Structure 1
Amino acid sequence: MRKYALGLDLLNDPQLIDEYVDLHKNIWPEIKASISASGVLNMEIYRFENRLFMLMEVDDLFSFEKKADMDASNPKVQEWEQLMWKYQSAIPGAMDGEKWVLMDKIFEL
């Protein structure tokens, strides 16, 4: 099992942040199914202010490329991703159009 950490910012608007949190408390079942089908075994998102941190544990067959291909061909995922841009802001250093940015592990105990 591999583990990835990713970061993303939200727009710094308390009402939008509350909406985003509410949407993730009741994530669409199609999105949950899509995440699992891509090989993600566990996914957690943490928030401080408008900064998000995601921790993903994935199976040996998972790849970001495969997930991107699956997402691109899934209309419900595309609908979800379009909705999420209402709340999200690329983290400093992200490339154009990039949402979640892979973080480098710098310490492990």
Structure 2
Amino acid sequence: MKRYCLALDLKDDPALIAEYEAHHQAIWPEVRASIRESGIVQMELYRLGNRLFMIMETRDDFSFEQKAVMDENNPVVQEWEGLMWKYQQALPTAKPGEKWVLMKKIFDMQDSE
């Protein structure tokens, strides 16, 4: 099992943030299925202000590249991503077109003992 942590910003608008959270209380079944089929076992989102933090637990064979290909070929996922972009904005450090940015792990208590 692997763990990945990613960050993204939402547009700093309380009404849009509330809508975004409401969408995540009822994720489309096809999107949930696509997440699982890509090898993601568990996913959690956290928010502080307009900053989002995602924790993903994946199978060992998970690949961001493979997930991207799957997403590109899934019209429902593309529709969901288009809808979510209404609420999201790239981090200042993101590359052009990049949404979620992989975070660098800098501490693990288990590794430091």
TM-score bracket for this pair, using the shorter chain length: over 0.9
Deviation per CA, 1:61-98: give whole Å up to 9, x if none. Answer: 11000000000000000000000110000011001110
Alignment of 1:1-109 (within 5 A): 1-109=1-109
**Structure 1 unaligned blocks of 5 or more:** none
Q: TM-score, normalised by structure 1?
A: 0.99
Deviation per CA, 1:18-72: give whole Å up to 9, x if none. Answer: 0000000110000000000000000000000100000000001110000000000
Q: Distance in 2 between matches of 1:61 and 1:105?
A: 20
Report sequence identity in percent: 62
- Count of residue pairs the alignment pairs up: 109
Q: TM-score, normalised by structure 2?
A: 0.95
Give the ranges of 4+ consecutive aligned residues of structure 1 lying more than 3 Å apart after TM superposition: none
Q: Distance in 2 between matches of 1:13 and 1:86?
A: 11
State the one-letter code of the partner of 2:83.
Answer: L
Larger radius of gyration: 2
Q: Distance in 1 between matches of 2:4 and 2:77?
A: 21
